[in-house]
Chain A
Amino acid sequence: MSAENVKKFISFDALPGFLARAAEKNAVYVPRREGNAVVYRSFKAGDEAELGVRPTESCKHVVFPRGEELFSFAREADKEEPGKRRLVLTEASEPGAAVVFGALSCDARGFLAFDPVYNGSGTGGTAKDSYYLRRRNRTLIVVKACKNALNTCFCNWVGGGPASPQGADVLAVEAEQGLVLDILSGEGTAFTESLPAASEAQLAAAAAAVKAAEDSLPKAADVSAAPASLAALFSSAEFWNKESAHCLYCGACTYLCPTCYCFNITDESDGLTGVRLRSWDNCMSPLFTLEASGHNPRPNKADRLKNRVGHKFSYYPSLHSGRFSCCGCGRCIKSCPSSVDIRKIVLDAVKEAANV
Chain B
Amino acid sequence: MSEQTGATAARPVYKAGTRNPYLPMPAKVIEVITETPTIKTFRVVLEDEQLMRDFTFEPGQVGQLSMFGVGESTFVINSPPTRKEYLQFSVMRAGENTTALHSLQAGDTVGVRAPLGNCFPYEKMKGKDIVFIGGGIGMAPLRTLLLFMLDNRKDYGKIRLLYGARSPQDMAFSSELPDWFGRRDLECTLTIDREAEGWQHKVGLIPNVLLEMNPDPNNCVAVTCGPPIMIKFTLQALEKLKFAPEQIYTTLEKRMKCGIGICGRCNIGDKYVCIDGPVFSMAELNAMPNEL
Q: Which residues of A contact B (CB under 8 A)?
A: 1, 5, 70-71, 73, 87, 89, 91, 94, 112, 115-120, 122-123, 127-131, 133-134, 136-137, 141, 165-169, 182, 184-185, 187-188, 231, 234-235, 261-269, 271, 274, 276, 278, 281, 283, 288-293, 295, 297-298, 303, 307, 310-311, 314-316, 318-319, 321, 323
Contact = CB atoms under 8 A, between A and B. Distances in A.
A182 B21 CA distance: 37
Contact of A264 (B4, B257, B270, B291): B257
Interface string B254-277: 110110111111011110100100
22 contacts: A94-B16, A115-B11, A119-B1, A122-B262, A128-B13, A129-B21, A129-B262, A130-B14, A133-B14, A134-B14, A166-B4, A231-B289, A234-B290, A235-B289, A261-B262, A263-B263, A264-B263, A265-B263, A267-B69, A289-B254, A290-B255, A315-B270
B204 interface: no
Contacts of A112: 1, 4, 10
Contact of A303 (B8, B228, B267, B291): B291
Interface residues of B, number: 57
B292 A265 contact: no
A123 B109 CA distance: 28
Contact of A118 (B8, B73, B228, B262): B262
B24 interface: yes
A131 B22 contact: yes
For B9, B109, B263, which residue has the most chain A Cβ atoms within 10 angstroms? B9
A117 B21 contact: no
Contact of B12 (A89, A136, A268, A292): A136
A231 B291 CA distance: 13
Contacts of B262: 117-118, 122, 129, 261, 263
Given A117-B262, A123-B260, A136 B14 contact: yes
Nearest to A308: B264
A267 B68 contact: yes
A278 B23 CA distance: 12
A283 to B, nearest CB: 6
A262 B265 CA distance: 8
Interface in B56-92: 66, 68-73
Contacts of A117: 261-262
B73 A71 contact: no
The 3 closest A-B pairs by CB, nearest first: A122-B261, A292-B95, A269-B69
B108 to A, nearest CB: 10
Contact of A291 (B4, B22, B255, B289): B255
B175 interface: no
B71 A266 contact: yes
Contacts of A314: 269-270
Contacts, number: 177
Contact of A122 (B6, B68, B272): B272
A149 B49 CA distance: 60
Contacts of A137: 11-12, 14
A123 B275 contact: yes
Nearest to B274: A122
Interface in B1-48: 1, 3-4, 6-14, 16, 18-24, 26
A216 B82 CA distance: 66
Contacts of A134: 14, 16
Contacts of B16: 94, 134
A166 B10 CA distance: 9
Nearest to A108: B9
B191 interface: no
A321 B270 CA distance: 13
Nearest to A119: B12
A311 B4 CA distance: 21
A165 B290 CA distance: 40
A165 B18 contact: no
Interface string B228-269: 100000000000000000000000011101101111110111
Contact of B269 (A115, A131, A184, A231): A231
Given A123-B260, A319-B270, 11 more contacts: A70-B23, A73-B69, A115-B1, A122-B261, A130-B19, A167-B4, A262-B263, A263-B257, A269-B69, A298-B291, A323-B3
Contact of A128 (B18, B71, B94, B96): B18
A291 B23 CA distance: 23
B263 A310 contact: no
B117 to A, nearest CB: 10
Contacts of B289: 231, 234-235
Given A133-B18, A166-B4, A311-B267, A271 B257 contact: no
A83 B7 CA distance: 61
Contacts of A118: 12, 262
